[in-house]
C-alpha cells in the first residue's frame, strides 16, 4: 500500500518530465534550438537570471548574516516581510512592481529622473527575477549562518579580526555549502519565473522574452521549439538540484563541519 | 595584572558580582558548578559581552568601564582565549588556524605558525583540517592559536574537559607549562576542582555569580569556609614522583617526604595523586599498622574546621592534606592545631589524576 503510493507519486511527478524528451526526437530538438526565438530567449534568461543572482547574493548575504547573528526589535517582522514574495502569486508581484516602479508609480518617477527605465526593458526582467527569487537565497543563507558555531565568530574577534573581517574570512567560507544551496535554489526560481516578468516587463523577443515566456509563445506555432527549450530548462534544473543535493551533503567543498 | 572591579552582570536567575585581581605570571582558577557564571566572566574580560556595571583593566589599559562608557573591542584586547570546545575554524588547516591572528607577510606568518605548532609537537599535522585532528591535537592547535597573538592575558574556559581520560594527563602537563611560560595573568574557569588544583596558583570557588572563597588548593582543602566549598573541593591533590610499579601497585614518593602507594598503574615520573578527605583515618602518632590500609603518613594538624556534622582537619604532611572526621573523633583524640597525628588511607583510595 505504502510502496504503491510511492510508485504512483514518482510516476506522476516524473512522467511529464520524461515525456518532453520522448515526444520529439533528439535531432528535432537540436534543430529547434537553432531558431532565433529560442536562442534569444535562452541568452536573455541566462543573462538576466545571472545578474539577478549576483544582486541577490551581494545584498542578501549581509542581510542573512544580520538576521542570523543579531537579535533586535522588529527582526521577526523583517523576516516575514522578506519571505513575502514566497507566498505572493507571481502575477500579483508583477502588478505590484508595475504600480510601484512603473511610469506612474511612486518610485517610478524617481527611477525615471535617474534615467532608469524598467517597464518592458531587460532591466525590468532583472528586477522581477530579483523580487521573486531573493527569499529563496536569503532564507537558506540565514539558516546556514545560524548553523555556524558562534564561538568561531567570537574566536575570530579575540584573534584580532574586526567584525567585517570575521564575516569575510570565517562566516562566509564556513557557510559556503549553505550559500551555494541558497544560490542554486534562487537561480532555479529565477529561471522558471513567468508571471511577474510577463506583467512587469512584457514578452518582447530579445528584450524581455525569457525562456519560460518563449515556451508559451512557441507553443502555438512551433511545438518542437517549445519542447527544445523545455528540455534545456530541465537539464539546467537537474544540474541545480544535483548541486543542492551534493552541497547539502557536504560534498565537493571540503568546508563542511562534522 | 588583570583586574576586575565591581563587575555586576545580570544572568537570568542571579547576578554575576565580583572583584578580583590576577597578578602577571599567576594563574587564578575559578571553580564552580556549571551555570555559576564562569564563562560569562571570561566573555566580559574578552569584550565578547558588555558589562552592566564595573570595570575591567589589564595593566595600564582600561578595557571596559561602565561609568565612563569605555569599551575596547575584542579585536583590540589581545586576549588569548581558549574556548571550551576549542572553536577551531573548520575550513582552515591547522597552520592557517594558528596564523589567523598573525599579521605581516604571508611567508612570515606561515613560518611563525609552523614554529608554534612545532612547539606543541604538531609540525607534522600543519596541513590537517580540524575535523581530522584528535581531541588532544585540537586542544594544542587552539592553544598555539591563542598564543600566536602574544596575548596580554590568557583566558581558559574548561581547557581540559573536552578531552578523554587517555589524553588528559599529557594535556594537563603541557597546559601547565604553557601557562607558566606565557608569563601573563591567566584566568581559568572550570567545574573540575582537580583541574584547577593542578593548573592554578590560586583558586576561587564561585557559586551563583559570587566568589565564596579564595585561596591555594591546600588552604581550601584544609579550611573550607562552608560545606559547599568542602564538597566542591572534594579530593586533596598531592604531587610526587612515581616509582616502578609492581603487582601491588605503584609507589609514589611525595614532594616533602613520605612514600605512599596507589593501586593505579602509571609510568615512572611526575604524577599528581588525589585522595578524598573522608577516606583518611586519623590515628595517634607512632601507632602500629593494624589494618589493611597501606599508606601511613605522619602529619601535623594545622586547622580544625566544623562543617555541620563533620569536621575538616587541615594537615601538614610536607604538603597540605585534609581529613574529614566526626566531632566525636576530635574530642576522643583531643585533636587541636599543632598535634602530631598519623594520616592513614588505603592504596585503593589513592587515584592518579595525571599520567
pLDDT tens string B164-184: 877 887 888 889 999 999 999
Under an 8 A CB cutoff, do A158 and B100 touch?
A: no
Residue whose C-alpha cell is 537537474: A238
pTM of the prediction?
A: 0.81
**Chain A residue numbers touching B79 (CB-CB < 8 A):** 158
Domains and CATH numbers, chain B: 2-215 (3.40.50.300), 236-352 (2.40.50.100)
**Domain assignments of chain A as residue spans, ordered by start:** 24-248
- Enumerate the residues of chain B whose CB falls inside 8 A of the CB of residue A173: 91
Residue B353: per-residue pLDDT: 76
**pLDDT (average), residues B293-307:** 88
Q: Is-contact A194 A213, C-beta < 8 A? A: yes
pLDDT, position B215: 92
Cα B22 to the chain's mean position, in Å?
14
CA-nearest residue of chain A to B142? A155
Please name the member of A157, A169, A176 whose beta carbon is closest to the beta carbon of B74. Answer: A157
Chain B: residue whose CA lies nearest to A165: B75
A253 or B115, which is more confident? B115
Note the pLDDT of residue B355.
42
**Quick check: B125 pLDDT over 90?**
yes
- Contacts across the A-B interface (CB distance below 8 Å): 71
| Out of A151, A159, A256, closest to residue B100 by CB | A159
| Chain A residue whose CA is closest to B92 | A255
Is residue B244 pLDDT above 60, yes or no? yes
Tell me which of A155, A172, A178, A253 to substitute to probe the interface with B (most B C-beta atoms closer than 10 Å): A155
Q: What is the mean pLDDT of residues B148-174?
A: 88
C-beta atoms of A157 and B87 within 8 A: no
The strand pair at B310-316 and B295-307 is best described as antiparallel
Q: How many angstroms separate the CA of residue A170 from the nearest CA in chain B?
A: 7
The segments of chain A whose pLDDT lies below 70 read 249-258
Report the chain A residue with the minimal C-alpha distance to residue B79: A158
Q: What mean pLDDT, rounded, does chain B reach?
A: 89
pLDDT value, residue A191 = 94
Beta strands in chain A (DSSP E): none
Residue among A155, A173, A257 whose CB faces B131 most closely: A257
- Do A177 and A236 meet the contact criterion of CB atoms below 8 Å apart? no
> Closest partner residue to A155 among B81, B91, B131, by Cβ?
B81
Q: Which of residues 137-196 of B touch A (CB under 8 A)?
A: 145-146, 148-149
Placement of cell 541566462 in the chain: A46
pLDDT at A252: 38
Contact criterion met (CB < 8 Å) for B74 and A154 = yes
CATH of domain A24-248: 1.10.3720.10
Shortest CA distance from B47: residue in chain A: A158
Q: pLDDT at position A221, please?
A: 86
Alpha-carbon distances of B83 from A157, B3, B31, B115, B184, rounded to whole Å: 12, 21, 16, 22, 18
SS3 content of chain B, % helix, strand, coil (to 5): 30, 35, 35
* A147-161, B19-33, B218-232, B300-314: segment of lowest average pLDDT: B218-232
Give mean pLDDT, residues B36-49.
90
Average pLDDT over residues B186-215: 90
**Pseudo-torsion of CA B217, B223, B226, B230, nearest 10°?**
50
How does pLDDT run across B331-346, given as a tens digit for each residue?
998 899 999 999 999 9
The band of B187, judged by pLDDT with boundaries at 50, 70 and 90, is very high
pLDDT for A42: 93
CA distance A255 to chain B (A): 5
Q: Nearest chain A residue to B76 by CA: give it.
A: A160
CA A222 to chain centre: 28
Contact B87 A151 (CB under 8 A): yes
When CB atoms are compared, the residue of A154, A159, A257 closest to B90 is A257
Contact A160 B149 (CB under 8 A): yes
The span from the CA of B235 to the CA of B279, in Å, is 10
Q: What's the whole-number mean pLDDT along residues B114-141?
A: 93
Q: What is the mean pLDDT of residues B279-307?
A: 87
pLDDT of residue A255: 44
> With an 8 Å Cβ cutoff, are B75 and A162 in contact?
yes
Residues 199-258 on A with a CB inside 8 Å of B are 254-258
Residue of A152, A158, A170 lying closest to B81 (CB–CB)? A158
Query: A155 and B149 in contact by Cβ < 8 A?
Result: no
Residue A179 buriedness (CB in 10 A; 0-12 / 13-18 / 19+)? buried
Cβ distance of A176 and B129 shorter than 8 Å: no
Helices (H) and strands (E) in chain B, counts: 9, 21
* Weakest mean pLDDT among A228-232, B147-151, B216-220: B216-220
In the three-class reduction of DSSP (H, G, I as helix; E, B as strand; rest coil), residue B203 is classed as strand
pLDDT score of A24: 75
How far A151 CA sits from the closest chain B CA (Å)? Answer: 6
Q: Is B286 on the interface with A (CB under 8 A)?
A: no
Report chain A residues whose CB lies below 8 A from the CB of B47: 157
* Closest chain A residue to the Cα of B150, Cα to Cα: A159
At A102 the pLDDT is: 85
Chain A residues within 8 A of B83 when measuring between CB atoms: 151, 154-155
Interface confidence (ipTM) of the complex: 0.80
CA distance A217 to A194: 12
In Å, what is the CA distance from B228 to each residue of B28, B32, B225, B231? 20, 10, 8, 5
Q: Return the C-alpha torsion angle A25, A30, A35, A40, nearest 10.
A: 120
Q: Which residues between 130 and 159 in chain A have a beta carbon less than 8 angstroms from any beta carbon of chain B?
A: 149, 151-152, 154-159
Q: List the 290-349 stretch of B: residues with Cβ below 8 A of A.
A: none
* pLDDT reported for residue B194: 82
Amino acid at each position: 500500500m505504502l510502496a504503491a503510493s510511492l510508485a504512483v507519486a514518482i510516476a506522476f511527478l516524473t512522467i511529464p518530465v520524461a515525456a518532453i524528451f520522448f515526444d520529439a526526437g533528439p535531432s528535432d530538438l537540436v534543430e529547434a534550438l537553432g531558431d532565433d526565438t529560442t536562442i534569444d530567449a535562452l541568452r536573455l534568461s541566462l543573462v538576466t537570471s545571472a545578474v539577478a543572482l549576483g544582486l541577490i547574493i551581494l545584498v542578501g548575504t549581509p542581510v542573512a548574516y544580520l538576521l542570523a547573528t543579531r537579535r533586535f526589535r522588529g527582526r521577526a517582522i523583517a523576516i516575514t516581510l522578506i519571505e513575502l514574495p514566497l507566498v505572493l502569486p507571481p502575477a500579483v508581484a508583477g502588478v505590484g512592481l508595475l504600480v510601484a516602479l512603473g511610469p506612474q508609480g511612486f518610485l517610478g518617477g524617481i527611477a525615471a529622473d535617474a534615467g532608469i527605465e524598467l517597464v518592458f526593458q531587460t532591466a525590468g526582467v532583472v528586477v522581477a527575477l530579483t523580487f521573486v527569487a531573493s527569499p529563496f537565497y536569503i532564507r537558506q543563507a540565514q539558516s546556514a549562518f545560524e548553523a555556524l558555531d558562534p564561538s568561531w565568530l567570537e574566536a575570530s574577534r579575540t584573534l584580532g579580526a574586526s567584525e567585517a573581517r570575521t564575516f569575510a574570512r570565517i562566516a562566509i567560507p564556513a557557510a559556503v555549502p549553505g550559500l551555494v544551496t541558497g544560490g542554486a535554489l534562487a537561480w532555479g526560481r529565477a529561471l522558471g519565473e513567468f508571471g511577474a516578468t510577463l506583467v512587469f516587463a512584457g514578452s518582447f523577443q530579445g528584450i524581455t522574452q525569457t525562456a519560460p515566456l518563449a515556451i508559451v509563445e512557441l507553443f502555438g506555432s512551433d511545438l518542437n521549439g517549445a519542447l527544445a527549450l523545455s528540455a534545456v530548462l530541465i537539464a539546467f534544473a537537474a544540474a541545480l538540484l544535483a548541486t543542492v543535493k551534493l552541497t547539502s551533503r557536504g560534498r565537493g567543498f571540503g568546508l563542511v563541519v562534522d | 595584572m588583570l583586574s576586575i572591579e565591581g563587575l555586576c552582570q545580570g544572568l537570568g536567575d542571579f547576578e554575576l558580582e565580583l572583584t578580583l585581581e590576577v597578578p602577571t605570571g599567576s594563574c587564578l582558577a575559578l571553580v564552580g558548578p556549571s551555570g555559576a557564571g564562569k564563562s560569562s566572566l571570561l566573555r566580559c574580560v574578552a569584550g565578547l559581552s558588555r558589562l552592566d556595571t564595573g570595570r575591567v583593566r589589564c595593566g595600564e589599559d582600561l578595557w571596559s568601564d561602565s561609568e565612563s562608557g569605555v569599551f575596547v573591542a575584542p579585536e583590540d584586547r589581545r586576549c588569548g582565549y581558549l574556548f571550551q570546545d576549542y572553536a577551531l575554524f573548520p575550513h582552515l588547516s591547522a597552520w592557517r588556524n594558528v596564523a589567523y591572528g598573525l599579521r605581516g607577510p604571508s611567508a612570515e606568518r606561515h613560518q611563525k605558525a609552523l614554529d608554534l605548532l612545532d612547539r606543541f609537537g604538531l609540525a607534522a599535522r600543519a596541513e590537517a583540517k580540524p575535523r581530522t585532528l584528535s581531541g588532544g591535537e585540537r586542544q594544542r592547535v587552539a592553544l598555539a592559536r591563542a598564543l600566536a597573538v602574544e596575548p596580554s592575558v590568557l583566558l581558559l574556559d574548561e581547557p581540559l574537559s573536552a578531552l578523554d581520560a587517555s589524553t588528559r594527563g599529557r594535556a594537563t602537563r603541557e597546559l601547565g607549562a604553557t601557562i607558566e611560560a606565557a608569563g601573563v595573568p591567566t584566568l581559568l574557569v572550570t567545574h573540575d576542582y582537580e583541574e584547577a588544583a593542578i593548573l592554578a596558583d590560586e583558586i576561587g570557588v564561585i557559586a551563583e555569580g559570587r566568589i565564596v572563597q579564595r585561596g591555594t588548593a591546600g588552604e581550601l582543602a584544609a579550611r573550607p569556609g562552608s560545606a559547599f566549598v568542602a564538597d566542591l573541593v572534594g579530593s586533596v591533590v598531592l604531587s610526587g614522583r612515581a616509582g616502578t610499579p609492581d603487582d601491588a601497585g605503584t609507589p609514589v614518593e611525595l614532594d616533602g617526604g613520605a612514600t605512599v602507594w596507589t593501586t593505579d598503574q602509571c609510568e615512572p615520573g611526575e604524577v599528581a595523586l588525589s585522595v578524598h578527605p573522608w577516606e583518611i583515618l586519623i590515628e595517634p602518632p607512632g601507632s602500629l599498622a593494624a589494618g589493611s590500609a597501606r599508606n601511613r603518613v605522619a602529619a601535623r594538624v594545622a586547622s580544625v574546621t566544623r562543617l555541620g556534622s563533620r569536621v575538616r582537619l587541615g594537615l601538614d604532611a610536607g604538603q597540605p592534606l585534609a581529613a574529614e572526621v566526626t566531632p566525636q573523633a576530635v574530642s576522643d583524640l583531643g585533636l587541636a592545631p599543632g598535634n602530631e597525628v598519623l594520616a592513614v588511607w588505603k592504596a585503593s583510595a589513592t587515584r592518579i589524576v595525571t599520567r
